[in-house]
Amino acid sequence: MKVAELFVKCLEHEGVEYIFGVPGEENIDLMDALKDSSIQFVVTRHETGAAFMASHYGRLTGKPGVCLATLGPGATNLLTGVANANMDQSPIVAITGQAGLNRQHKISHQYYDLVSVFDPVTKWNAQVKKAEIVPEVIRKAFQVANQEKPGATHIDLPEDIAGMEVEANPLEIRREPISIASDDMIQDAAELISHANSPIILAGNGITRDNASKNLRQFVEKHQIPVVHSFMGKGALSWDHELSLLTAGVDNDYPSCAFAEADLIIPVGFDMAEVAPKSWNPNGETPILHIDSQPAETDEYYPVETSLIGDISSNLDKLSESLSPKKRDLTWVATIREKALGELKEFENDTSFPMKPQKIISDLRAVLNKEDIVISDVGAHKMWTSRLFHSYEPNTCLISNGLASMGVAVPGAIGAKLVHPDKTVVALCGDGAFQMTSAELETAKRLKLPIVVLLWRDEGYGLIKWHQLKHFGRASHIDFTNPDFIKLAEAYGFEAMQINAGDTLQDTLQKAISLNKPVLIDCPVDYDENMKLTEKLKNMQCE
């Protein structure tokens, strides 16, 4: 068989369902081999979108998503999405076509050393230099991508190698044992918590990756320790639980009062790329009990007293068994929750237009079921979504908060809908981010995926304007003009709906969901609320 056929056979052996990408001249052997495969190749309109789709597939399934590009510009287009997945700890395997070995020693058309290019943004990558190593390369790529902490791997396949004849078979998939903390470390952690009067948990995305939400909830119930979530940890504890202190990540927000109250912070499955510890432990004085799959990053503001390294579920259960329940004064938790939840309630009947961010979030939460999925793009709306869209379950509000690349939501919604066809999937996009990957509307339509795109339109880069106003009191170079989004969506085959009044979004969302077809909703937003929030939080009192 050809190397390309063996390559596809190995991918099938790894359980690959989809490959997202844009084919090219240098991977025609691979594309031909996929013609007879059980794997569905999803042609995308841009390589970055392909990597975003693979990333969200990986995040939601726990299996590496796969994306593909050709050499040169195809590969460099893929790079941003691969880097985004790697920093979000989403498992993906990126495949690039490459110039033949016979021309890599000299300046050659579209040739770059892609192993070097991808090295900084992947956990591991390699070029297939010999036909017989294909099974090893693919097995290692999937194994490393899925190891905690997950991330991106990359395989570079030269065109002349792809067309060679070879005889080999996929390698057996062996599951690695998962370590747990020693009894001595468990006991040290239990003593640390026992001596704390006001411990809090910082729940990160590792809880979801480890399927440890149930274990966390049992631990919290038994020991009455409140929980603050990172952007990517939302839903580890349901937002309506009395011990949920919602989501941290915006400076001086309500959860900041929780960190100020704490005499012990317990990050569980926390990925430090999300938000620097300096923002929630500003003096670096509150001790840390680090519970994660990997040792902590060295950081001045992350003073680790004790670590529990290994399987998060098992370590939480062992810690719970070793820890005696302790009566704690939790009146401060109720006070913080009341203030934070009051902000959303304040705007649930607001009818002003353009719509305020708080009202958009309130309406969206009102119409979605607990298990439905919201994917936020990057922009001012991301900050409002992280603060106010409260989650019942993990992986129901997906926020990219590592590399945080714009343009992630529409491709991400496509990946999510392929994984969960039975759930409503809504992509939240600013008009700036939307235009970066809006061509993928055609992909959604072609695949007959009934995603809903809720477009927050303000005719500019709202998040950058927000920062400029905070620092300088004036904005610079952030305005742009937009196309007619209704006509654009219709041209792609989407149903398109326009919001023209502040009291119509809920009904429009319900109609969009009921149509069971791809829908775009164009919703003008009033981002004057951004600076109002800045002033409000600046003057916030924690008592």
What CATH number should be reported for the domain holding residue 301? 3.40.50.1220
CB neighbours of residue 516 within 10 Å:
10
Same domain, 451 and 512: yes
Q: Do residue 203 and residue 315 come from a single domain?
A: yes
Structure tokens at 519: 């829908």
pLDDT of residue 102: 86
Give every CB contact of residue 346 below 8 A, 6+ residues apart in sequence: 358
Q: Is position 455 within any domain?
A: yes
Of the candidates 391, 119, 63, the residue with the CA atom closest to the CA atom of residue 232: 391
| Residue 43: exposure state from Cβ atoms within 10 A (0-12, 13-18, ≥19) | middle
Per the structure, the count of domains in the chain is: 3
User: What is the rounded CA–CA span in Å between residue 113 and residue 302?
Assistant: 38
In tens, the pLDDT along 409-457 reads: 999 999 999 999 999 999 999 999 999 999 999 999 999 999 999 999 9
Judge whether 358 lies within some domain. yes
CATH assignment of the domain containing 115:
3.40.50.970
The verdict on residue 339 lying in a domain is no
Residue 167 lies in a domain: no
3-state secondary structure of 50: helix
Kindly list the averaged pLDDT for each block of 10 residues, start to end, along the chain of length 543.
95 98 94 95 98 98 97 97 97 94 84 95 97 97 96 96 92 88 95 95 96 97 96 96 91 86 96 91 95 95 96 96 89 90 89 96 97 97 94 97 96 98 98 97 98 97 91 93 97 98 97 98 94 84 70
Q: Are 280 and 202 in contact (CB under 8 A)?
A: yes
Q: Are residues 324 and 364 in the same domain?
A: no
User: Do the beta carbons of residue 93 and residue 66 sit within 8 Å?
Assistant: yes
Residues 353, 472 within the same domain? yes
What's the pLDDT at 99? 84
438: left (phi over 0), alpha (psi -120 to 50) or beta: alpha
Distance CA 238, CA 223 (A): 17
Size of the chain in residues: 543
Contact present, 92 and 122 (Cβ < 8 Å): no
Angle formed by the axes of helices 134-146 and 3-13, nearest 10° = 30
Are 406 and 440 members of one domain? yes
How confident is the model at residue 385, as a pLDDT?
A: 96
Are 380 and 280 within one domain? Answer: no
Give bridge partners of residue 126 from the DSSP assignment: 155
372 and 520 fall within a common domain:
yes
Domain boundary among 274, 298, 332: 332
Whether residue 122 is found in the same domain as residue 237: no
* 143 within 8 A of 123, measured Cβ to Cβ: no
pLDDT attached to residue 489: 98
pTM of the model: 0.96
Interatomic CA distance for residues 188 and 420, integer angstroms = 41
Distance, in Å, from the CA atom of 536 to the CA atom of 531, rounded to the nearest integer, reads 8
Closest CA to 381 of 337, 343, 431, 419: 431
Nearest by Cα to 247 from 90, 406, 385: 385
Query: Range of 240's domain?
Result: 183-332
State the pLDDT at residue 250. 80
Contact 66, 11 (CB under 8 A): yes
* Spatial CB neighbours of 233, under 8 Å, sequence gap ≥ 6: 202, 203, 204, 205, 206, 207, 208, 269, 270, 394
Residue 318: both structure tokens together = 């062992």
Q: What is the pLDDT of residue 128?
A: 97
User: Distance between CA 13 and CA 304 in Å, rounded?
Assistant: 42
| 294 lies in the same domain as 353 | no
Domain stops at, among 332, 355, 390: 332
The answer to whether residue 281 sits within a structural domain is: yes
What's the CA gap between 459 and 485, in Å, rounded? 12
Here the tokens at position 143 are: 């194994």
The answer to the question of residue 172 being in a domain is no
Q: Is 369 helix (H, G, I), strand (E, B) or coil?
A: coil
Provide the pairing of β-strand 65-69 with 264-268: unpaired
Residue 476 has a CB neighbour count (10 Å cut-off) of 9
Based on the fold, state whether residues 427 and 501 are members of the same structural domain.
Answer: yes
For the chain, the C-alpha Rg in angstroms (whole number) is: 24
370 and 306, same structural domain?
A: no
With left for phi above 0 and alpha for psi between -120 and 50, is residue 510 left, alpha or beta?
A: alpha
CB 351 within 8 A of CB 365: no
What is the pLDDT, as a whole number, of residue 543?
64
Residues 6+ apart with CB under 8 A from 422: none
Would you say residue 136 lies in a domain? yes
Which pLDDT tens digit goes with each residue over 194-251? 999 999 999 999 999 999 999 999 999 999 999 999 999 999 999 999 999 999 878 7
Would you state the pLDDT for residue 329? 87
Q: Are residues 448 and 502 in the same domain?
A: yes
Instruction: Assess if residue 342 is contained within a domain.
Output: no
Among the candidates 308, 332, 356, a domain finishes at 332
Distance CA 205, CA 87 (A): 12
